[in-house]
Amino acid sequence: GTSEEVAPPVQQCFMVPKKEINVVSDMAKWKRSQAYADYMGFILTLNEGVRGKKLTCEYKVSEPIEKLVALLNTLDRWIDETPPVDQPSRFGNKAFRTWYAKLDQEAEKLVSAVIPKHLADAAPEVAVYLKESVGNSTRIDYGTGHEAAFAAFLCCLCKIGVLRVDDQMAIVFKVFNRYLEVMRKLQKTYRMEPAGSQGVWGLDDFQFLPFIWGSSQLIDHPSLEPRHFVDEKVVNENHKDFMFLECILFITEMKTGPFAEHSNQLWNISAVPSWSKVNQGLIRMYKAECLEKFPVIQHFKFGSLLPIQPVTS
């Protein structure tokens, strides 16, 4: 990170009129796009950034990181202010629509509070990704496509220079981890359906990225091996340090019955000999099962920051 790494001037970033934010219609075009390259590059950069590091370790927390956490705290507070309503069906509580309407209304303002004044023109485009990242208000569901929108939101903040190279650990450990907490609260409070879930054949009903970054955290750990994450005692003792184990804890809180039955894919992963193999396998699986599956990616938005144009570099 040299001091030359300044944000590109705004007019260069935002040449695409707002109406041109469009969605995927052609998978081959998506995989060749600048957006796909930038998104995947961002995921892999963070994967390296958190390698072998605990959630509880020390890292730099910049002002934009603090502001992003404040934004997520606001979303959390709105859940408390919007209790679930009495309704006949068990899943998909309609109060989520009330909560979402508030975000829809306030998203640009929330984003404007995170980015500096001279980048104000970016707020409408960046806010699109924030609104997409919390689930679907019609179907009251949430899945890996929504999670991808949040990663894209963070990627856009990096592209305009709000987040910097030395924010990597804080992006995952402070911001993304807080996002996960808020999403889990949404899922529990409004009994959200998993979006496009493959049921028992999927990795998890709702998330994927914390398993990738969480397995990277565990690479070269002196004592914890993949076989240990199915051990309740190990999970209880170490979940505050490792995102992967925090995910396992949440699954076991939400699901009953033998782990091998309700989370078969994860059970299979526990037989992999090393965390670096788990990490590599999850990255391949993420591309194949999430980024290259039409139902997941059909809602992905493109604009001037994450363009659909083919990769130039």
Q: Is the pLDDT of residue 1 over 60?
A: no
Where residue 77 falls among pLDDT bands split at 50, 70, 90?
very high
Which pLDDT does position 160 carry in this prediction?
97
Where residue 297 falls among pLDDT bands split at 50, 70, 90?
confident
Lookup result for tokens 């979303």: 75
DSSP per-residue codes, the chain:
--TT-PPPPHHHH--S-GGG-EE---HHHHHHBHHHHHHHHHHHHHHHHTTT--TTS-----HHHHHHHHHHHHHHHHHHHSPPPP-SSSSS-THHHHHHHHHHHHHHHHHHTTS-GGGGGGHHHHHHHHHHTT-BTTTTEE-HHHHHHHHHHHHHHHHTTSS-GGGHHHIIIIIIHHHHHHHHHHHHHTTPEETT--GGGSS-SS--HHHHHHHHHTTT-SS--GGGGG-HHHHHHHTTT-HHHHHHHHHHHH--S-HHHHTHHHHHHTTSS-HHHHHHHHHHHHIIIIIT-HHHHTT-EESSSS--SBP--
Which pLDDT does position 99 carry in this prediction?
98
Where residue 25 falls among pLDDT bands split at 50, 70, 90?
low
Which whole number is the average pLDDT over 55-69? 98
Where residue 18 falls among pLDDT bands split at 50, 70, 90?
very low
Where residue 22 falls among pLDDT bands split at 50, 70, 90?
low
pLDDT tens per residue, range 212-261: 999 999 999 999 999 999 999 999 999 999 999 999 999 999 999 999 99
Least confident of 82-96, 132-146, 190-204, 297-311: 190-204
Which pLDDT does position 32 carry in this prediction?
93
Q: Which residues are CB-neighbours of 31 under 8 A, at least 6 positions away?
A: 292
Q: Is the pLDDT of residue 298 over 90?
A: no
pTM of this structure: 0.91
Contact indicator for 110, 73 with CB cutoff of 8 Å: no
Where residue 296 falls among pLDDT bands split at 50, 70, 90?
confident
The amino acid at 273? P
User: Across the chain, what does the average pLDDT equal?
Assistant: 91
Where residue 153 falls among pLDDT bands split at 50, 70, 90?
very high
Position with higher pLDDT, 14 vs 23: 23
pLDDT tens per residue, range 304-313: 999 999 998 6
Residue ranges covered by each domain of the chain: 16-84+91-300
Least confident of 42-46, 109-113, 176-180, 252-256: 252-256
Class of domain 16-84+91-300: mainly alpha
